[in-house]
Copies of this chain bind each other. A is one copy, B any other.
Amino acid sequence: MERRTFITRTGLAGAIAATSAPAIVHAQTALRWRLASSFPKSLDTIFGAAEVFAKKVGELSGGKFLISVHAAGEIMPAFGVVDAVQNATVEIAHTAPYYFFGKDETFALGCAIPFGLNSRQMTAWMVEGNGLKLMREFYHQYNIVNFPGGNTGAQMGGWFRKEIKSLADMKGLKMRIGGFGGRVLERIGAVPQNIPGGDIYPALEKGTIDAAEWVGPYDDEKLGFVKVAKYYYYPGWWEGTGQGHNIMNLDKWNALPRHYQAAIEMASRDTFTWVTGKYDYVNPPALKRLLVAGAILKPFPQEVLEACYNAANEIYADLNKTNPHFNKMYTSLSAFRNESLAWMQVAELSYDSFMMRMRTRT
């Protein structure tokens, strides 16, 4: 076979033409991992992130490093994934770490806390600030290494059966909301409820609960809340963004060849971009459809937001005294947040506000 024919047949014409170095054979190790997701398949963006991630790792390794993706409940419950990764029952999981704030509130800081970071701020704090570094110090005690895997953007404040006109309307209000947000609501006299996604609709319909938050227009629409609770509040102050993470057993990670570690890192970055990109693309038409279906958009009254803001800060002040990990990370997060807000309100907010104003005129 002449050289030209060989090159063409192997499809490496350009590759070889571009260099004078000979082709070198390098070992690619065949590897199979299992990924446990904390999300149901119905959340096609958040659950889908793990599928996108696994696909990319496969492509980067020439099909040698294969990760099978399992929805919540398939090989373990949604909230079993931290223990499972710690014990190497699975090598890797995809989760929203604030689910584990009962273990330690610090988990929530890399995911979402009330009145925390927005998605641009979260990215900056993770990528260039101390966020990822501090988060990894924390995860190290669980024998876990973590990679940010996507932000939802600011979420909605949920569906309410009755209009909220004042802080007084929040007293005794039974609301489906998890974790940190619920703890803040308790302080202003509301009654947080933990209810799995599938049980929210009947509870709202019967009036067992008065309100429920889920994610944003695209995910909320699927659960049909607009039919039983028309007031759709904003913003979801407990989730200025929600950041998913890929968490891995540290021993499994350390044993990976360097270019497979790079594949994990890069594929996580890919999903990171994809999750926000997809939410930002599918939420606008979903919101339009919800409005057509009868949703009544309402901002939370300023006094409700301020009471919750103050309650959250009280909780953080307490935690800073009792939880050194939380204190270290929260100090870093809040300092960056405040500095960032001062800059973001200049060019970014003024640009967006002007564009929003002009849109309604044309």
Quote the shortest CB–CB distance from A339 to chain B (angstroms). 4
Number of residues from A at the complex interface, CB < 8 A? 115
- A206 at the B interface (CB under 8 A): no
Are A26 and B27 closer than 8 Å at their CB atoms? Answer: yes
Are B30 and A18 closer than 8 Å at their CB atoms? Answer: no
Are B25 and A32 closer than 8 Å at their CB atoms? Answer: no
Residues of B with C-beta under 8 A to A265:
270
Residues of B with C-beta under 8 A to A18:
31-33, 91, 252, 255
Stretch at the interface among A96-104, A135-143, A341-349: A341-349
Contacts A30-B19, A30-B24, A343-B217 given; does A309 touch B240 at CB 8 Å: no
How far apart are the CA atoms of A288 and B343 in the complex, in Å? 9
Are A255 and B29 closer than 8 Å at their CB atoms? Answer: no
Encoded as 1 (CB less than 8 Å from any B CB) or 0, chain A from 185 to 217 comes to 000000000000000000000000000000011
Q: Which 6 pairs across A and B sit closest by C-beta, in order of nearness?
A: A14-B255, A127-B277, A26-B28, A124-B280, A128-B281, A235-B351
- Given A23-B27, A59-B258, A273-B273; 12 other pairs, CB 8 A cutoff: A15-B260, A18-B31, A25-B28, A56-B266, A60-B60, A127-B278, A237-B354, A280-B340, A287-B342, A341-B355, A341-B359, A344-B352
